[in-house]
Amino acid sequence: MIFVTVGSQKFQFNRLLEEIDHLVEKKFLSAEEIYAQIGYSTYEPKFYTYKQFIDKDEFIEVMEKSSIIISHGGTGSIINGVKKGKKVIGVPRLKEYGEHVDNHQIEILEQFSKTNMIYVVSDTLEIGNAIEKVKEIEFEKYQSNTKEIIKIFDNFLNTLNTNGS
């Protein structure tokens, strides 16, 4: 299953949804394998199942059933997919299409891409190729560094306590 998510901010991401419809229409993708959360987009898919918004439980359930996640450049969707070991394709919302107020999603996706945790396309017309490529790519696994961060804070606090006494 491929889960397409565009987030819940009050911007459309019609370009992405239209390209997925195009890929289904030309039989590159099967309608049965696509599920989308379309948010505030004004384009309504013709060939695959979608909902405007889904709650957190359904989001997690759909994500778990999916092998590929196609996401806007929102950190929440990307991190959830990566944590679950999914193949994530990131597509930035762009200001020039009225999809966001600026192009910060390009920078966010570049950072994730540098870690080899996701695959990024800059143009929605690249999605078909991206879907084929991610099937072959072995991505880095997500590793929490929470313990390391706590250790750094502990060492810092211990240094303060030692120097302050």
Whether residue 102 lies inside any domain: the answer is: yes
Whether residue 159 lies inside any domain: the answer is: no
Whether residue 114 lies inside any domain: the answer is: yes
DSSP state of 140: P
Whether residue 61 lies inside any domain: the answer is: yes
Q: What is the pLDDT of residue 159?
A: 72
Q: Which residues of 44-71 are buried (b: 16+ CB within 10 A; e: fewer)?
A: ebeebebeeebeeeebeebbeebebbbb
Domain count, the chain: 1
DSSP state of 67: S
Q: For 14-58, how does the pLDDT look when each residue is reduced to its tens digit (9 = 90+)?
A: 999 999 999 999 999 999 999 999 999 999 999 999 999 999 999
Q: Are 17 and 25 in contact (CB under 8 A)?
A: no
Whether residue 34 lies inside any domain: the answer is: yes
Inter-CA distances, 86 with 35, 47, 127, Å: 15, 24, 16
| Rounded Cα gap, residues 108 and 115, in angstroms | 12
Host H or E run for residue 154: helix 146-164
CATH code of residue 25: 3.40.50.2000
Domain range enclosing 62: 2-140
Whether residue 27 lies inside any domain: the answer is: yes
Q: Are 45 and 17 in contact (CB under 8 A)?
A: yes
Q: For 92-126, how does the pLDDT look when each residue is reduced to its tens digit (9 = 90+)?
A: 999 999 999 998 899 999 998 998 999 999 999 99
Q: From the CB of residue 33, how many other CB atoms can be counted at a distance below 10 Å?
A: 15
Q: From the CB of residue 162, how many other CB atoms can be counted at a distance below 10 Å?
A: 8
For helices 75-83 and 104-114, the axis angle rounded to 10 degrees is 20
Its pTM stands at 0.85
